[in-house]
Structure 1
Amino acid sequence: MKKNLLAGVIAALFASAAQAFDPFVVKDIRVEGIQRTEAGTVFSYLPVRVGDTLNDEKAAQAIKALFATGFFKDVRIEVEADVMVLVLEERPAIYQIDFVGLKEFDKDQLKKGLKDIGLAESRIFDRALLDKAEQELKRQYLSRGRYAVEVKTTVTPLERNRVSINFTIDEGEAAKIKQINIVGNQAFKEKELLELFQLQTPGWLTWYTKNDQYSKQKLTADLESLKSYYQNRGYLEFGIESTQVSISPDKKDIFITISVNEGERFIVSSVKLAGDLVAPEEDLRKLVKVKPGDIFSRERLNETQKAISERLGKEGYAFANVNSAPEVDKEKRQVAFTIFVDPGKRVYVRRINIGGNSRTRDEVVRQEMRQMEGGWYDAEKIQLSRQRVDKLGYFSEVTVETPSVPGTSDQVDVNMNVTEKPTGSLMLGAGFSSSDGIILSGSIAQQNLFGSGKSVAVAVNTAKSRETYSFSYTNPYFTVDGISQGFDIYKKTYDPTGTSYAKSYKTSSIGGGLRWGVPIAEKESINFGVAVDKTDIETFADSRRIYKDFIKEFGNSNTSGTVNLGWGRDARDSLIYPTSGTYTRVNGEMSPVGSLKFYRMNFQHQRFIPFTKDLVLMLNGEFGMGNGLGGKPLPFYRSYYAGGVTSVRGYDVASLGPRQSDEAIGGNKRVVMNAELLFPMPGSGMDKSLRLGWFVDAGQVFGPKDDFGRYSKVSLADLRYSTGLAVAWTSPMGPLKFSIAQPLNDKEGDKTQRFQFTMGTTF
Structure 2
Amino acid sequence: MKKHLRRIRARTVSGMVAAAFAVNAWAVDPFTVRDIRVEGLQRVEPGTVFASLPFRVGDQYNDEKGSAAIRALFGLGLFKDVRLEVAGDVLVVIVEERPTVAEVDFAGTREFDKEALRKALREIGLTEGRPYDQALADRAEQELRRQYINRSLYGAEVVTTVTPIERNRVNLTFTVTEGEPARIRDIRIVGNRAFNEGTLKGLFDLDTGGWLSWYTKSDRYSRAKLNADLETLRSYYLSRGFLEFTIDSTQVAISPNKQDISITVNITEGERFVVSGVKLEGNFLGKEEEFKSLVRIRAGEPYNADEVAETTKAFTEYFGSFGYAFANVEARPEIDRTRNLVAFTLVADPSRRAYVRRVNIAGNNRTRDEVVRREFRQFESSWYDGDKIRLSRDRIDRLGFFRDINIETVDVPGAPDQVDLNVTVVEKPTGSLQLSAGFSSAERLGLGFSIRQENAFGTGQYLSAELNTSKYNRSVALTSVDPYFTEDGISRAVDVYHRNSRPYEEQGGNYSLATTGAALRFGVPFSEFDTVYFGAGLERTEIRPGTNIPAAYLAFADQAGFTSYNFPFTVGWTRDDRDSAIAPTKGRLQRVAGEASFFGDGRYVRANYQYQQYIPLNKQFTIAFNGELGLGKAIGDRIYPVFKNFYSGGLGSVRGFEQGTLGPRDVTGASIGGTRKITLNGELFTPFPGAGNDRSLRLFGFVDVGNVYGDDERVDFGQLRASAGVGVSWLSPIGPLRLAIAQPVRKFAGDRIQRLQFQIGTAF
Instruction: Give TM class, smaller chain.
Output: 0.7 to 0.9
Q: Are 2:446 and 2:469, in contact at CA under 8 Å, matched by a contact in 1?
A: yes
- The answer to whether 1:750 aligns with 2:756 is no
Partner of 1:240, secondary structure, is strand
1:322 aligns with 2:329: yes
TM-score, normalised on structure 1? 0.75
Of 225, 228, 232, which aligns to 1:221?
Answer: 228
Q: What's the offset of the Cα at 1:339? A: 1.0
Q: Aligned partners of 2:147, 2:512: CA distance in 1, in Å?
A: 68
In structure 2, the residue matched to 1:741 is 740
Partner of 2:308: 301
Are positions 1:726 and 2:733 aligned together? Answer: no
Which digits, 9 at most, give the CA deviation of each residue in 1:172-217, with x for residues without a partner? 3322222111111111111111122232223233334433233222
- C-alpha contact 2:653 2:706 (8 A) present in aligned 1: no
Q: Does 1:286 align with 2:304?
A: no
Q: Residue 254 of structure 1 aligns with which residue?
A: 261
Aligned pair partner of 1:620 in 621, 626, 635: 626
Do 1:669 and 1:714's aligned partners in 2 also have CA atoms closer than 8 Å?
no
The secondary structure found in structure 2 opposite 1:193 is helix
Alpha-carbon distance in structure 1 between the residues aligned to 2:455 and 2:125: 46
Report which stretch shifted further, 314-323 or 152-161.
Answer: 152-161
Structure 2 equivalent of residue 343 of structure 1: 350
**Take 1:99 and 1:473, find their aligned partners in 2: how far apart are those partners?**
42
Query: Where in structure 2 are the equivalents of 1:531-550 lying within 5 Å?
Result: none
Mapping for residues 132-281 of structure 1, pairs under 5 Å: 137-150=144-157, 169-278=176-285, 280-281=287-288
Q: What CA deviation, in whole Å up to 9, does each residue of 1:581-637 have, x standing for no partner?
A: 323244566789999887655332122324457865442211224456899986644
Q: Any idea what SS the aligned residue of 1:664 has?
A: coil
**Structure-1 residue corresponding to 2:13:** none
Instruction: Show the counterpart of 1:701.
Output: 707
Distance (whole Å) between structure 2 residues aligned to residue 534 and residue 323 of structure 1: 67
**Structure 1 residues 639 and 310, CA gap change in structure 2 (3 angstroms):** same
Distance in 1 (CA, whole Å) between partners of 2:540 and 2:138 is 82
- State the shift of 1:278 in Å: 1.8
* Aligned residues: CA RMSD: 5.8
Deviation at 1:566, TM superposition (A): 5.8
SS in structure 2 opposite 1:220?
A: helix
Q: How far 1:274 moved relative to its partner?
A: 1.0
- Spell out, residue by residue over 1:668-715, the C-alpha distance to the aligned partner (whole angstroms, 9 max, x if none): 331223345679999999999x7867463624323337xxx7536123
Q: Which amino acid in the other structure matches residue 241 of structure 1? A: D
Q: Could you give the per-residue CA deviations for residues 253-303 of structure 1, whole angstroms, max 9, x where no partner exists?
A: 222222111111111111111111125222222221111111111111111
Flag structure 2 segments of 5+ consecutive residues without an equivalent. Answer: 11-17
Higher mean C-alpha displacement, 125-134 vs 667-676:
125-134
Which is worse superposed, 446-455 or 248-257? 446-455
Shift in CA distance, 648/726, structure 1 to aligned 2, threshold 3 Å: farther
Q: Secondary structure at the match of 1:323?
A: strand
Greater mean alpha carbon deviation, residues 348-357 or residues 640-649: 348-357
Residue of structure 1 aligned with 2:673, choices 634, 647, 666: 666
1:411, CA displacement in angstroms? 3.1
Aligned to 1:642: 648
Which moves more between the two structures, 158-167 or 346-355? 158-167
> For residue 718 of structure 2, what is the amino acid of its counterpart?
S
Amino acid at match of 1:715: G
Structure 1 residue 238 displacement after superposition: 1.2
Higher mean alpha-carbon deviation, 40-49 vs 578-587, is at 40-49
Q: Which amino acid aligns with 2:206?
A: L
State whether residues 390 and 576 of structure 1, in contact with CA within 8 Å, keep that contact through their aligned partners in structure 2. Answer: no
User: Does 461-470 or 107-116 show the bigger shift?
Assistant: 461-470
Alignment match of 1:312 (pick from 295, 298, 319): 319
- CA deviation digits over 1:296-350, x for unaligned, max 9? 1111111111112122222222222111111111111111111111112223344
How many Å separate the matches in 1 of 2:20 and 2:187?
64
Check whether the contact 1:617–1:677 (CA below 8 A) recurs between aligned residues.
yes
Shift of 1:412: 3.7
Alignment CA distance shift 1:757-1:538 (3 Å): closer
1:680-699 equivalence runs, <5 A: 694=700, 696=702, 698-699=704-705
State which drifts further: 531-540 or 50-59. 531-540
Q: Measure, in 2, the Cα distance between the counterparts of 1:672 and 1:197.
A: 38
Is the 1:516–1:528 Cα contact (8 Å) retained in structure 2? yes
Deviates more, 1:407-416 or 1:316-325: 407-416
1:681 to 1:58, Cα distance in 2 relative to 1, 3 A: farther
| Alignment partners' CA distance in 2, 1:602 and 1:353 | 43
In 2, the alpha carbon distance for the partners of 1:567 and 1:54 equals: 82
CA distance in 1 between counterparts of 2:105 and 2:563 reads: 76
CA contact (8 A) 1:387 1:573 kept: no
**Residue 718 of structure 2 corresponds to which residue in structure 1?**
715
Structure-2 change in CA distance of 1:647 and 1:366 (3 Å): farther
Is residue 692–residue 728 contact of structure 1 (8 Å, CA) maintained in 2? Answer: no
Residue 408 in structure 1 maps to residue 415 in structure 2: yes
SS in structure 2 of the partner of residue 647 of structure 1? coil
CA–CA separation in structure 1 for the residues paired with 2:54 and 2:457: 59
Looking at structure 2, the residues matched to 349 and 428 of structure 1 have their Cα atoms a distance apart, in angstroms, of 48
2:338 to 331, 349, 353: 331
- Residue pair 2:705, 2:720 contacting (<8 A) in 1 also: no
Going from structure 1 to structure 2, the CA distance change for 1:38 and 1:261 (only over 3 Å counts) comes to same
**Aligned mates of 1:588, 1:176 — CA distance in 2:** 56
SS in structure 2 at match of 1:327: strand
Quote the Cα distance in structure 1 between the aligned partners of 2:521 and 2:42. 77
Indicate the residue corresponding to 1:657 in structure 2.
Answer: 663
- In structure 2, the CA distance between the partners of 1:287 and 1:147, relative to structure 1 (3 Å rule), is same
Aligned residues between the structures: 747
Residue 475 of structure 1 and its aligned partner are, at CA, apart by: 7.9
Match of 1:378 in 2: 385
Counterpart residue identity of residue 213, structure 1:
R
Distance of aligned partners of 1:596 and 1:131 in 2 relative to their CA distance in 1, 3 Å threshold: closer
- Alpha carbons 2:164, 2:170 under 8 Å: kept: yes
Aligned-partner residue type, residue 253 of structure 1: D
Structure 2: how far apart are the matches of 1:11 and 1:373? Answer: 55
In 2, distance between residues paired with 1:74 and 1:365?
51
Residues 255 and 590 from structure 1, CA distance in 2 versus in 1: closer, same or farther, beyond 3 angstroms?
closer
Q: Secondary structure at the match of 2:230?
A: helix
Equivalent AA in structure 2 for residue 726 of structure 1: S
1:421: how far off?
7.6
Q: Which residue of 1 aligns with 2:15?
A: none
- Tell whether the 8 Å contact from 2:739 to 2:757 is kept in structure 1 after alignment: yes
- The range that moved more, 610-619 or 440-449, is 440-449
